[in-house]
């Protein structure tokens, strides 16, 4: 029997020892359940931590893998081309049907207290406190930590279904509410410098240890609501055929849609057949 390899101490601070890191093979090669959990754990990781995409909380026992839609609706959305027909057979296996949230926001999401609206013009997923719950107001009108460019980004079309349910759950709320046109990131994203404007992407990896304390000392001014009566540009939150069409068009054009099609397609044919399959996507 070959002897066990010896780990060199101290262990590296920013990742597992050589040979112990997770393989980078595509999630389509993993088991279905593993693909879902791995997809969310890698996508919703910021500065080295798996975080709630709403509030940024993290830690063992705090973060949960959350689904956006139930199995009963999944096939119907495939038939209507709201999601790719090549998406996994069950939503519980598809990372594009989920996101990481803390227990609090997972519960509020499932109880229809808020919804997420994707705005194609600014390419951001925005938190809408439709119930008006006071504990959620600090997140209202601000973008959450999801990147439409990620190949495992949630399908924006799924959030339309959830929004319809939230609206029905609160029938006396304004049908067309407004939010400021200038939509900032959530406060924790700005505070911790989680988004890199230069690369237009989130910082997934753990920062060098000597930069953490320096970042924590930087001044931060949270977004506030104006009380001086000055008017500002507003965007409406109508939900009509035109809005839905725009979101569906953005959904079908996103890298995540294309990646899902590629993962769910059989490439066992000839080179010419595979080229035709790819061109038809």
Could you read off the pLDDT of 94-144 as tens digits, one per residue?
999 999 999 999 999 999 999 999 999 999 999 999 999 999 999 999 999
Q: What is the pLDDT of residue 23?
A: 44
How far is C-alpha 41 from the geometric centre of its chain's CA atoms? 11
Tell whether 62 is covered by a domain: yes
Q: Can you give the pTM of this predicted structure?
A: 0.80
Peptide bond into 281 cis (omega under 30): no
Q: Which of 159, 188, 153, 155 is nearest to 43 (CA)?
A: 153
Q: Which residues contact 104 (CB under 8 A, 6 or more apart)?
A: 55
Tell whether 162 is covered by a domain: yes
Tell whether 146 is covered by a domain: yes
Cα–Cα distance for residue pair 92/74, rounded to 1 Å: 10
* 3-state DSSP helix/strand/coil % of the chain, to nearest 5: 35, 15, 50
Is pLDDT above 60 for 147? yes
More confidently predicted of 13 and 61:
61
**Stretch 209-228: mean pLDDT, rounded?**
46
Query: What's the Rg (C-alpha) of the chain?
Result: 21
Q: What domain range includes position 128?
A: 28-205+233-279
Q: Which residues contact 264 (CB under 8 A, 6 or more apart)?
A: 28, 84, 85, 86, 87, 88
Q: What is the pLDDT of residue 279?
A: 66
Cα–Cα distance for residue pair 131/114, rounded to 1 Å: 6
Tell whether 228 is covered by a domain: no
Q: Which two tokens stand for residue 242?
A: 């035109």
Tell whether 3 is covered by a domain: no
More confidently predicted of 258 and 14:
258
**Stretch 141-150: mean pLDDT, rounded?**
97
Is pLDDT above 50 for 219? no
The mean pLDDT of the chain is: 85
Q: Is 38 helix (H, G, I), strand (E, B) or coil?
A: helix
Neighbours of 188 (CB within 10 A): 20
> What percent of the chain stands above pLDDT 90?
69
Do the Cβ atoms of 66 and 100 come closer than 8 Å? yes
Domain total of the chain: 1
More confidently predicted of 14 and 166:
166
> What percent of the chain stands above pLDDT 70?
77
Q: What is the pLDDT of residue 209?
A: 72
Tell whether 156 is covered by a domain: yes
Roughly what angle, to the nearest 10 degrees, separates helices 255-263 and 241-253? 60
Tell whether 190 is covered by a domain: yes
Q: What is the pLDDT of residue 19?
A: 52
Cα–Cα distance for residue pair 157/252, rounded to 1 Å: 9
Q: What is the pLDDT of residue 230?
A: 44
Is pLDDT above 70 for 231? no
Q: Which of 6, 2, 38 is nearest to 20 (CA)?
A: 6
Tell whether 7 is covered by a domain: no
**Stretch 256-267: mean pLDDT, rounded?**
86
């Amino acid at each position: 029997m070959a002897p066990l390899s010896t780990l060199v101490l101290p262990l590296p601070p920013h990742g597992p020892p050589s040979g112990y890191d997770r393989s980078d093979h595509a999630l389509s090669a993993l088991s279905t359940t593993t693909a879902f959990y791995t997809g969310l754990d890698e996508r919703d990781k910021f500065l080295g931590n798996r975080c709630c995409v709403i509030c940024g909380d993290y830690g063992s026992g705090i973060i949960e893998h959350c689904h956006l839609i139930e199995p009963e609706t999944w096939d119907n959305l495939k038939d209507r081309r709201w999601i790719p027909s090549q998406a996994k057979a069950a939503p519980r296996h598809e990372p594009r049907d989920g996101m990481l949230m803390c227990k609090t926001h997972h519960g509020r999401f499932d109880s229809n207290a808020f919804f997420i609206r994707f705005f194609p013009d600014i390419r951001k997923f925005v938190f809408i406190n439709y119930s008006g719950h006071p504990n959620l107001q600090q997140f209202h009108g601000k973008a959450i930590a999801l990147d439409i460019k990620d190949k495992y980004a949630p399908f924006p079309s799924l959030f339309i279904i959830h929004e319809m349910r939230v609206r029905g759950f609160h029938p006396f709320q304004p049908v067309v509410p407004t939010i400021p046109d200038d939509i900032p990131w959530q406060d924790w994203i700005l505070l911790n410098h989680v988004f890199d404007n230069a690369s237009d992407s989130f910082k997934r990896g753990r920062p060098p240890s000597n930069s953490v304390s320096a970042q924590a000392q930087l001044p931060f001014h949270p977004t506030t609501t104006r009380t001086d009566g000055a008017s500002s540009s507003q965007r409406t939150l109508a939900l009509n055929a035109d809005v839905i069409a725009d979101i569906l068009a953005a959904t079908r054009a996103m890298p995540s849609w294309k990646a899902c099609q590629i993962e769910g397609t059989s490439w066992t044919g000839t080179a010419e057949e595979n080229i035709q399959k790819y061109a038809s996507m």
